[in-house]
Structure formats: structure tokens, C-alpha cells
Amino acid sequence: MPAPCACPIPAPARCWRWWLPCRPTSRPASTSSALPKAAPARHSSPSKTIKLRHHSAAFRRLVVGSRWGRITPRNLRSAPRSPMSHLRLAVFDVDGTLVDSQHNIVSAMTEAWSNLNLGIPRPEQVRRIIGLSLVDACAVLLPWATPAVHRAVADSYKEAFRAMRLLPDTMEPLFPGVKEALDRLESQGWLLGLATGKSRRGVDSMLEAHDLEGRFVTIQTADDNPSKPNPAMLRRAAADCGLDLHEIVMIGDTAYDMAMAAAARSAAVGVSWGYHSLDELRRAGAQVVLDTFENLTEVLDKVTGDMAHHQAGDGE
């Protein structure tokens, strides 16, 4: 911690910003310990606002980069090995990557079409659009329909899915090895995140059902972001954690996930058990396609190392 400065504000009042360099005051030194009655207004100019934002970003990066910034209620028992270890973020897709939700999605979409007298969609068509935000998915399924119809189908789908979630036999099971893979990544100091076409309500329900609450430091959903493959989800995840995009790996099962990572210039790792083929994943930018989560940590170490080397080469 830097040595105390000559700032006239008492230490308890400024302890929250100990990391900010205080400017020498232009006031003559006073023998009185009384504070001035009115402090000067903060953010009095655009330049000061920009500097404050810069300092805030530096502080966020400092805290997230510390050992305490990485600890969440669920991973206290597996704190990183070294507070100085390099931070990296593993961002997971949800449907088709962590949980097998295809049956629920196909059922809800079928009911939505039926409610609007649109016929019955083919299951393979519905599986193709898993990963997109809902309205975008409806537009792909119904290219001839108007945007108003796309929104109506999306609303009907949400109602059907909410009703389905209340049924006792409705499940979205985790794929094998998911929890063990998350444990291993956390034990190696990785930050965990989600980037999904689900709504935040759907994500929260999934996390609660599988006892995964508190494990993900950033959660990007369709509620607050454009649909994949727009890279906005990864950019916001990077900003949340104070990381650069080349320090992020996207893990997903669709070409939308791989294309999003490519657009963000982040590493991309595909999984073979989801809803798009291996060829589609590789064509969209997957550097590796996994058949199991068993070696996930080693693969992520390699691809982030490759990205760092590539980034260094670009900077030369």
C-alpha cells in the first residue's frame, strides 16, 4: 500500500480509494485540523471523468486479479494456488454443452407453433437453432413470417417452457463430467462464466436445479446482449472480469459459439456431444473439439497459450 499522502480528507473517509494517487493540494498548509466546510465538486470536467473511469477500471482489474477477487461462496474451499497466478476465464455455453435440454426445447417450440396454427416443426430443425437468442431462432425457423409473428412465437414458447418447468418430471440433466470439470478448473485458478441464448430466468433455474449457484463470475444471457455469433457476450464477460479477450476461452457445442469466439478473437473449444457436427464446429473456428470433459483443463491451458503467443506475434 502506498505511503499516506497529504490529502486533507481524513484516512477513514478515503480508505476505499487508497489505491488512487492523491494530488498535492494547492491550499496553504493549515495548522487547524478542521476540514473545509464544503468540498470541491467532483467530476467537474470531462477530463476528470475520463481519469476516474480509468482509475476505476484499474481498480477492478486489481481486485479481480487478487486472490480474494477470485473467491466466490462456492469455491472458498478451492482457492487458487497462487495470488499472482495469471487470470483466465472459461466461458461455457449452456444448452448442449453443460445440460441436455433438447427435448424440452423441441417440446416447447412444438407447442408454440401449435398455439399459433403454424403446424409442427421438425425436431432436427429446432435442434439446429439451439444457441441463438429466441427471436432470432424463430426467424431462422420461419423465414417467411413477419417480425411480429417471430415475436409471437417467442412469447408462446416462453409460456410453454415456463409451464413445462413446473412439471415434476421436467429435467435438463447435466452432461457427464460437468461438475468435476468445473471443480478442476477452479482448483487451477480459472474464472468461470456463461454465455447463452437462454433468458436469465432460465439460467437461474438451471443453476439452482443443479446446485451450481455462485460458481460463475459473469453470466451473459439473451436478455442483455445481441444473439450469437455477435461477440458482445464475450466482450462484456471480459469487461466484467477485467481481462483481455485473448485471455478468454469459449466452450460450446454449436457453430454460433465458435463464430462468436472468432469474432471476439478469443480461443474456441467445441464439444462433440451437442447439436452441431464436428465439421461445422471446425469450419466456424474451433481450435479443438472435445469428446469428453476429462482433459478440459489441459486443452484450455494449451489454447490460451497459443492465443497469447499469437497475440504477442501480432504486437511485434
Residues with catalytic function: 93, 95
Strand order in the sheet with 218-220: 218-220, 191-195, 89-92, 248-252, 267-271, 288-290
Q: Comparing C-alpha atoms, which of 199, 182, 262, 207 is closest to residue 230?
A: 262
**Triad 161, 137, 94: Cα angle to 5°:** 60
Q: Which three cell numbers stand for residue 231?
A: 461477440
Task: Count other C-beta atoms under 10 Å from residue 169's C-beta.
Answer: 5
C-beta of residue 259 within 8 angstroms of C-beta of residue 286? no
Strand partners, 248: 89
Under the phi-then-psi rule, with left for phi > 0, alpha for psi from -120 to 50, and beta for the rest, what region is 213?
A: beta
